[in-house]
Structure 1
Amino acid sequence: MDELVNQLIQKYKTNCPFELCRALGIHVRFMDLGGGTKGLYYRKLRRRFIVIHNELSLEWQRFVCAHELGHDRLHKGINRFFLEENSYFAPGKLERQANRFAVLLLSAAASPDHDESLESFYSRLGIPPEVGFFLES
């Protein structure tokens, strides 16, 4: 997965998930998805879409975009929802992989400062603290 993330960044010269989606032809939309869903990825008629809950903070919108981009790159042909319920404690294998992809993408080319905690490092990069631990597992 590290190699896949590095190849994307090298090819498109960015680790911004929104810019990567634009370059890859993935349509990103924002809408009210209700209380439990932060985002979703789906394909329809050969078009790829990421829908992000419009009431999320900018930090979460960026993470959800990276997470759903992970589904596009890792799980071709599978429509997956990024659900808030229990996603921090018992996410399925595909959700864990998409979370790891997102953290790797958003933290690419950065490393913690000397004696900096991972929580502080992720905060500095705009990675929501609730999901930062996915790099550790």
Structure 2
Amino acid sequence: MDDYVQALIRKLIRKYHTNCPFELASSLGIHIRFADLGQTTKGLYFRKLRRRFIVIHNQLPAEWQRFVCAHELGHDRLHKGISRFFLEEHSYFSPGKLERQANRFAIALLTADLAASPGESLHEYYRRAGVPQEMLYFFRN
């Protein structure tokens, strides 16, 4: 899975010249919307009438909005035809296989243009890449 994800991300970046999830989603024709999704839902991905949508909770900090966009983009690229919700309780406490894959995709995408500096901790590296620190505990590279 990881080699496939890395190759997929390299291909996206090479084609669209960015690793910004918002720019990639736009380039891929995915509509991004912001809405109040309640206390536990950070974002969701769905298809309707052959149109693809990412909806991001509008009260999240910018770092989380970026991560959620990358996560939902992971669902679009990795899980064709499946609409998935990125639910806080599932992502933090018992992430399913598809959620773990989308999280790994998001982390790989957001860190694709960065190399760890000598002596830099994973915590510092993720912070510099804009990956929410909560992901550090679940997805150590």
TMscore range, shorter length:
over 0.9
Match of 2:66 in 1: 62
Q: Identify the match of residue 78 of structure 2 among 68, 74, 87.
A: 74
Root mean square deviation of aligned Cα: 1.1
- As a proportion of its length, which structure holds more helix? 2
What are the equivalent positions in structure 2 for 1:41-120 lying under 5 Å apart?
41-120=45-124
Structure 1 segments, 4+ long, off by >2 Å, are: 132-137
Give the whole-Å Cα distance in 1 for the aligned partners of 2:47 and 2:79: 12
| TM-score of the pair, normalised by structure 2 | 0.93
SS in 1 for 2:89: coil
Q: Identify the match of residue 23 of structure 1 among 9, 27, 39.
A: 27
SS in 2 for 1:111: coil
Residues 85 and 135 from structure 1, CA distance in 2 versus in 1: closer, same or farther, beyond 3 angstroms? closer
Give the whole-Å Cα distance in 1 for the aligned partners of 2:10 and 2:139: 15
| TM-score of the pair, normalised by structure 1 | 0.96
- Matched residue pairs, number? 137
Unpaired segments of 5 or more residues in structure 1? none
Amino acid at match of 1:45: L
